[in-house]
Structure 1
Amino acid sequence: MTMAVSEVPTLRTNLAEYAVTKALRDGQVSSDVVKLDFCGPTPAHSGFKSMVRENAFDAGELAIVTFLQAKAYGKPYVLLPAPISGRFQHHCAGFNIDFGHLDPKDIEGKRVGVRTYTQTTALWIRGILRHEYGVDLDKVMWMTLNDGHLAEYSDPANCQRLPKGSSIPDMMLQGELAAALLGEDMPKDPRVRTLVPNAQEAAKDWFAREGVVPINHMFVVHEDVSRQRPDIVRELYRMVVESRRQADVPSLFPPVGLEANRKGIELAIDWALDQRIIPRRLSVDELFDDVTGSLG
C-alpha cells in the first residue's frame, strides 16, 4: 500500500455498526482526507482472522486479545487508543441449575464450553474466575469449537475440540458441558444461572476496586498507513471520537486516550500472559507507534 499525500485514499475497513460507530458508518461523520469502504463481514469478528493472516483490511476494529497476539507474532497493525466496544463480563459464564448448583471452583475437573480459547470475553471471565474466585484454570477442560485467529498460535493442552457443528448453548442446557462462556449467546432460559454469584453486583464491586471496564474491541490501522500518512491516522481517530460523541454512550464504557486505557490494556496483557494466550509480556507502549501513541 503506497499513498501519495495529495490523494484521498480509500481504506478497506472492517467496522460493525454499534451505537458508537453509527454516525461514522452512516456518513454523518465524514472526511476530506480519507474515505472508508466498510467492506468487512457481519459480525465484524468474522473478519479478524483474514485481517491478521492476510492483511485483508487497512483499518477497523479488532478484539484486544487478537491484537495482543498479532503484536506478539509480528503482524503489521498498530493500535489507536479508541475502544469500539467493552463491557463487564461477570455474567458471561453460565450453567444449567437442573444439573445441580455450581460455585466457580466447581468447574475444576469439568468440561466448559467456549467458542475459541482466545475469545476476548473468555479471557476476561476466566481472569475473573481465577483472580476473584480462586479457580485453577489449568484444571478445567476447555471445550472449543474453533481455533484462534492467529495461525502461529496453538491452544493450551487442556483444550479439546468439539465435533464440527456442535452447539455450546445446547450442550450446556443438556448437561453435556458443566458450564459455558457465552457472552451475548447465553440462552434466555430460566434454568440458566451465572457461575459468578450475583454477577451484576459483583461487576459493580469489581469496578469500584479496579476502575476498569473490560475492553472488547479497539480501533487498529495497518502500519503502512501510519508510516506513510500520519495525517490519515489522526483523522481516523478524530472520526471515531466524533462518532462516539454523537452516540448515547453508556456511562460505564472504556474511555478514549492512551493513558485513560493504560490500566485496562495492562490487565488484558497480564491475563493473556497468565492464560498462555501470548508468548511473552508486551508493554502497553509497544502496541502504539509515535503517531497513535500521541493521539488524544
Structure 2
Amino acid sequence: MTDTQTNTPLSVVLGNHPHTRPLKDGTVPVDGVDCHYPEFSPLPPAFARMVRELAYDICEMPMATYLQARDAGVPVTLLPVVLVGSTHHRSLTRLPEGEALDPGELAGKRVGVRSYGQTTGLWVRGWLREEYGVESSDVTWVTTEDVHVAQYRNPSYVERSDAARVADLLRAGDVTAAVLGPKAIGGQGAGLVPLVKDAEDAGAEWIERHGTIPANHLLVVRDDVLRTRQDDVRAVYRALQEAITLTAGERDDSPAGRAVTAGWSESLTACLEIAGQYALEQGLIGEPVDVAAIEEKAVFLTR
C-alpha cells in the first residue's frame, strides 16, 4: 500500500511513560514520519475525544474503552502494544477505619468507581466474580464520570454522583468501598487500604492462573489513517517497540513493569480473551470478542 499523506504530521497521543519518552524527545526517531505528540494531563479526556470524534491518528487507549469502541463500531484498529498494565486486587479500597469487609460481602453494597467503563473497574469486577462469586449486578456502582464511548448506556445498577473524585465518595460515607486506578491509589487514595488481604499475592495467583498480566492501556490507530498511511503506522509501531526495549532497565520486575510489551504474544491473546469475557459478563459489550480477527489484523501490521 502506498502512503498518500507522507508530508502531513501524524498526531500520536501517548501518556508520559518511561517507554514513550524516547519517541517524544526524539531519542528514538520514527523513521520517515513527522509525529506530533499532543499532551494531556490528565489523559482520560483524550480517550473520550478519540472514540467520540476520532480526534487523533494514533492514540493510547484503555482496554475497556477499546472493547466498547469496537463493539460500537468505532473505526479504530488495535496495535499490539501494552503501554500500562498490572494486577488490581489492591485497587479495591476502603477507609482504614472502615469496616474490614471481605470482598465477598460486597453484594448489596455501594462501591465507587470513576466510570462503569473504567478498565480498572473491569478487572476488579472480573476477579470479584471469579474469586468471590459477586456479580456486577449484585453491587450498586456509583460513578463520578461518564464512559468514554458515547453509544454506551450504563446498566440500571450504575448511579452517577456529583462528587468530583471517587475517594470523596468513600470519605463522605456514600460508598462502602472504592475502585481506584494505579495513579489514584498514590494520589487521592493516599491512606486507603485494600479490601483484599495479601493483595499482591492474590494478584500473583491471578497471573499464574491465567498466564497473562492485565493490560490497562493499549494503542489504536484510526482505520482511515491505516488505509492511507500503513507504512507510517508501521514506523510508529517499530519506534515504540524499540523504545520499549531501550527502556527495559527502567522498569522493575513487578507486574506493572512486566506488562509493557510490543508484539503479539500468547499473553496478549489470553489478556484480550479474558478482558473480553469479563466485559461481556459485565454488560460492557453486547457481543463476544473475536480475538482471532483482532490478532490477524494486528500481526499483519507488524510485519
Q: By the TM > 0.5 criterion, same fold?
A: yes
Q: Secondary structure at the match of 2:141?
A: strand
| Corresponding residue to 1:250 among 249, 252, 266 | 252
List per-residue Cα deviations over 1:99-122 (Å, max 9, x = no partner). 321000221111110010000011
Q: Does 1:263 align with 2:265?
A: no
Unaligned runs of 5+ in 1: none
Q: Does 1:295 align with 2:302?
A: yes
Cα displacement (A) at 1:167: 3.2
List per-residue Cα deviations over 1:16-43 (Å, max 9, x = no partner). 1101111111111113421211124222
Equivalent residues in 2 for 1:139-288, closer than 5 Å = 139-163=138-162, 165-183=163-181, 184-186=183-185, 187-189=189-191, 192-247=192-247, 248-251=250-253, 252=255, 253-254=258-259, 255-260=261-266, 261-287=268-294
Cα displacement (A) at 1:60: 2.0
TM-score, with length taken from structure 1: 0.92
Q: Does 1:14 align with 2:27?
A: no
Q: Secondary structure at the match of 1:146?
A: coil
1:86 is aligned with what amino acid?
G
Q: Secondary structure at the match of 1:39?
A: coil
CA distance in 2, matches of 1:70, 1:287: 13
Unaligned runs of 5+ in 2: none
Q: Secondary structure at the match of 1:242?
A: helix
Q: Does 1:117 align with 2:116?
A: yes
TM-score, with length taken from structure 2: 0.90
The Cα RMSD (Å) is 1.9
**Conserved in 1, the CA contact under 8 Å of 2:58 and 2:219?**
yes
CA distance in 2, matches of 1:8, 1:92: 44
CA distance in 2, matches of 1:99, 1:256: 41
Cα displacement (A) at 1:289: 6.0
Q: Secondary structure at the match of 1:85?
A: strand
List per-residue Cα deviations over 1:90-145 (Å, max 9, x = no partner). 10000124232100022111111001000001100111111012212211000011
Q: Does 1:89 align with 2:88?
A: yes
**Conserved in 2, the CA contact under 8 Å of 1:60 and 1:221?**
yes
**Conserved in 1, the CA contact under 8 Å of 2:3 and 2:232?**
no
CA distance in 1, matches of 2:81, 2:251: 13
